[in-house]
Amino acid sequence: MERRTTDRLLRARAQAIGGGVREESAAAVLDRVFAVQAQDLPAAELGLRVRAHGLTAPAVRRATDTERTAVRGWFMRGTLHLVPAADVRWLLALFGPVHLALAARRLRELELDDAVCARSERIITEAIAAEGPLTRAQLTDRLTTIGVPPKGQAAFHLIRRAALAGLICHGPQRGGDATFVLLDDWLPAAGPPSFTGAAAERELARRYRLAHGPSDAEDFAHWSGLRTTAARRAWAALPDTPADPRGEPAGPDVRLLPAYDDYLVAYRTRDLSVPAEHARRVWPGGGQIRPTVLVDGLAVGTWSGGRRGTPVTVDLFPATATATGEVAEGIARESAEVERFSDESHKRST
């Protein structure tokens, strides 16, 4: 096979979105790919679905809300991700101080000084300790008692600050809304973080390489948000990873990738997964990353719908607009699975 095609298939297999690779549970997906981008939680849940066999929305919700094997938080690049619960504390130790420092300027712009921040921590943690999981709206209401405006971004930044400091984390869903819980109650500490400092950077690089190879130090720096010098140092300390020995797939592996998926944002360039002439169809601007139709890891179109009973609509790129046979069958199967999963999710949140 051509080198680019080989590399794309290896990446798709590493991400469990090609070559027939699928995992058996939400926890197994995260063990394999380490993190699923989750600023849009329904998209993140679909990101777990697309990498697993017959995964149901209730099974995903059990993983996050009951089994607590998956936790949502601000980690790489300060962006919300779903990660394995066992990795939360060392990730917070690595990224929390970085993003707290970066957030300091925004807090000053919002006229939230150190005294207000300290008082907000007490308000947030005491309210959760007394009342249990609370939504952002409920925490905002509590913060107004110390003069925090009910509108705007001030309350959000104070809640995020408490999470980055390791005081709270995302907890169970309530009526479709995320709640926050005390980190030490939700994930009791068994000791200090598993990795710290340079060892944490190396572990992050190792996990990235396993889940995103073939890749390089610049890809890792782009994905992680670490300083380039630190990313290169961590990358250089890793042993070589053997290539996947499998050959060409038996047939086309079609997947409906959700919006903002890690497969499309985890590398410094996108041309291996999305043809350059169609890049604007996937990245139209304004921070959007559209849901994408993949065949063996290559984007061949975009899709929409699938939520609240709406059917999936596929818009194929011109070169594949008349897809037939196995690709068309794969699109039909994936569309039905997305609709089934999203219907389960909607029923659970109402």
Predicted confidence at residue 287, as pLDDT, reads: 87
What integer is the mean pLDDT of 119-124? 97
- pLDDT digits over 69-117, tens only? 999 999 999 999 999 999 999 999 999 999 999 999 999 999 999 999 9
Predicted confidence at residue 89, as pLDDT, reads: 96
- pLDDT digits over 293-342, tens only? 999 999 999 999 988 778 999 999 987 655 678 899 999 999 999 999 99
- pLDDT digits over 235-250, tens only? 999 987 766 656 666 7
Predicted confidence at residue 307, as pLDDT, reads: 80
Predicted confidence at residue 248, as pLDDT, reads: 64
- pLDDT digits over 218-272, tens only? 999 999 999 999 999 999 999 877 666 566 667 899 999 999 999 999 999 988 9
Predicted confidence at residue 225, as pLDDT, reads: 96
Predicted confidence at residue 28, as pLDDT, reads: 97
Asked whether the predicted pLDDT for residue 171 surpasses 90, the reply is: yes
Alpha carbons 103 and 100: distance in angstroms, whole number: 5
